[in-house]
Structure formats: structure tokens, C-alpha cells
Amino acid sequence: MSNALVIAPQWIGDAVMTEPLLRRLHARGERLTVGALPWVAPVYRAMPQVAEVIEFPFAHGGLQFKARRSIARRIEGQFDKAYVLPNSLKSALLPFLASIPERIGYLGEARVGLLTHRLKNPKNKPPMVAFYSALSGEGDLASDRPALHISAADIAPTLHELGLRQGGYVVFAPGAEFGPAKRWPARHFAELAARLDLPVVLLGSGKEAALCDEIAAPVNVAQAGKCLNLAGKTSLPQALALIAASHATISNDSGLMHVAAALGVPQVAIFGSSSPLHTPPLNDKARVLWLKADPAYQPPLDCAPCFERECPLGHTRCLNDIGAERVLQALDTN
């Protein structure tokens, strides 16, 4: 058995989409240690094929050479190979400094000398799961689907603490780190919450607390306690548990969308400026709403997908024109 270090991406959604790669590596006898930033590490603890998770003390931006060299010295001699999943120079630096014999990753950011095995970046945007799985050097990537595992014992304390029951609520994840062109309007989320028969739990980061309150507040005026705003109030392990135990999850194209897909819960994923052809929720219980692919929607959205943070045309029709009724209909098909 060889020992492999996996340098993880920094975003939750990307982390989820690396799971099929790690499953492939584990199946062929590699013992996997994942080096991840603290806010991503819990995702890898929900992957049974990962033997160990090392939390890196790195901040956003900057090379932080001294910190990387310190960790490299500590792990030197422990690994036979490293898989460098991000395309940045700094992510390839630590395995190089640790003198790991095989260092595998995509070409990028002038890091030719840092990697021993280099894949060319594809010209077109492939599905992200296939992009990561290709680092295994194996073919037949089309059937790969991420899967996360949260035990009932890990779910129970969170449900007990919040007074929730398994399957007794719907999760809303209305945020999207990239920008407003990926966020279904708050007023639509609020209308949907008001029309659902179950309570709603809103999840997100602290930066999304105001957005979640904009959704919850008007609903709670009419239906006291219908919405529970937990944005910025849960750890990622708690958020994973809440999604795993939900009746269904409604989200934009975001990291939590991919979490819901990997946990196999019924979900509706709403796409605007991005494309489900590139980052779909890989879940048989997922229903995707994307007006670009709706032939009945007129006039056609020739501007989509624009992959912009804000709508360049100022109308954001791709999201504004998806009403709460459409989401309710999608939920009913699950």
C-alpha cells in the first residue's frame, strides 16, 4: 500500500467533487491523507476512504512560504506520492518542499518544476468530477458520482439541540459565494417558504445571515416560527447533518448544493449565470431549474450562461423569471 497526500481545493463544492477521485485511489490500495483548509476539512471527514485529514493553517492569498516549509519538514518521508488538486503554484509548493517522489497535478501557474506528472488543462470546461478524476490516470469517468456519508449517530445531536426531527423540515441554502447572478431572489425564497407544508431551516455563512433574515422575517410574521435562520450559527459538520436529515434541500448553484447531491437527499437546484452542464448536482433525486434549457421560455436566454458575478444586462431574467410555483412543481416530482 502506498501513502498518498491529497492537496484539497479551497471551496466546499470543489471538495465534494473530488470524492470520486479519492474513491478510485483508495480502491487501488492507496492510503489517503488529505491536506485541507479548516472550512473544507469536514467534507473529507465524511469520506470513509480518507484515512486522515490534516488541517492547513493557511489564509486566503499570499504564498505563506514559511508555514508551508514548516509543514513540509514535518511530513517529509511519510508519503510516496501527492495529488495536487488546485491549479495554483502555492498548492504544489508543499509537496515539492516535502520531497514527495511523485507529484501529480494539472499544468498551471508556472509550476512545471514542482510537479513530476503533469496533465494538460482541457480546452473546454469538462464536468468538474471528470476533471478531478482524470488525475487518477484511469478512464471511464462518466459514471463517477460524489458520495458523502454521515452516520445517524453524528446527525442525532444536532437535531436534538435544535428541536428538529429527521425528515421534518426543508433546508434552504440561498447564498452563493460567487455573486448575485447565482442567487435566486430572496422574495422568491420567501414565497416558497410560506407555501411549504414543513418548517424551513436556512443555512449559510455569517455573510449570508442578512439575506436569510430577509427571507425568514416576512414569513415568520404570518407563520410564527416557520423559518429558522441558522446562517453563521452552525459549524460545517452541523450543516452537513442538517442537510442529510432534511426532507429536501433547495439551493442555488453552490457548495451546499453539491453537499446535498452527495448525501443523496431530494433537492431542487436553481441555476442562473452558471451552467449545470459544468457543475450539475449528481443525484438521481435532484431536479435542476435552468431557463436556458427550457424551450418554452421566451424570448430565449441567449446571454446564458454568462458566468458573471452580476448580470451584465441588469435584468437577471435567468433567476427572476423562475417563480416559486416552478420550484414547488419540481419538489412534487421527487
Residue 147 lies in a domain: no
Query: Residue 41 corresponds to which cell in the numbers above?
Result: 476539512
pLDDT of residue 224 exceeding 70, the answer is: yes
Same domain membership, residue 165 and residue 49:
no
103 and 193 part of one domain: no
CA angle centred on 146, ends 145 and 147, rounded to 5°: 120
**213 and 122 in a common domain:** no
Same domain? 113 vs 230: no
Specify whether the CB–CB gap between 275 and 305 falls below 8 A. yes
Cβ atoms within 10 Å, residue 113? 8
DSSP 146-183: ------HHHHHHHHHHHT--TTSSEEEE---TT-GGG-
In the predicted structure, residue 165 carries a pLDDT above the cut 80: yes
Q: Predicted confidence band at 142 (pLDDT cuts at 50, 70, 90)?
A: low
Instruction: Among 136, 162, 183, identify where a domain stops.
Output: 136
Question: Which of 136, 163, 188 is where one domain is finished?
Answer: 136
Mean pLDDT along residues 153-181: 94
Domains of the chain: total: 2
Strand intervals (E) in the chain: 2-7, 30-36, 50-55, 81-84, 102-106, 117-119, 170-173, 200-202, 227-229, 248-252, 267-270, 286-289
Mean pLDDT for the stretch of residues 182-198? 97
Range of the domain at 214: 152-332
- Omega before residue 305 within 30° of 0, cis: yes
Same domain, 112 and 157: no
142 located within any domain: no
Would the pLDDT of 309 be above 90? yes
Is residue 146 a part of any domain in this protein?
no
Closest CA to 98 of 108, 88, 85, 84: 84
The CA angle 197-157-196, to the nearest 5 degrees, is: 10
Q: Which residues of 151-167 are buried (b: 16+ CB within 10 A; e: fewer)?
A: eeebbeebbeebebeee
Q: Is residue 208 part of a domain?
A: yes
Same domain? 96 vs 204: no
- Within a domain: residue 141? no
- The CATH code of the domain that includes 317 is 3.40.50.2000
Q: Are residues 164 and 237 in the same domain?
A: yes
Is 315 within a domain?
yes
- The domain boundary, picked from 86, 109, 136, lies at 136
pLDDT for position 125:
76
Note whether 13 and 38 are same-domain residues: yes
Do 238 and 280 reside in the same domain of the chain? yes
Mean pLDDT of 213-236: 97
Residue 233 DSSP SS3: coil
Confidence of residue 332 (pLDDT cuts 50, 70, 90): confident
Q: Which three cell numbers stand for residue 121?
A: 488543462
Give yes or no: residues 186 and 122 share one domain: no
Paired with 288 in beta bridges are 269
Q: How many CB atoms lie within 10 A of CB 184?
A: 27
Give residue-wise pLDDT tens across range 239-258: 999 999 999 999 999 999 99
- Which of 125, 120, 90, 126 shows the shortest CA–CA distance to 105? 120
178 and 284 part of one domain: yes
Residue 244 lies in a domain: yes
- 222 falls within a domain: yes
Amino acid at position 33, single letter: T
- Tell whether 123 and 160 lie within a shared domain: no
Q: Which three cell numbers stand for residue 312?
A: 451584465
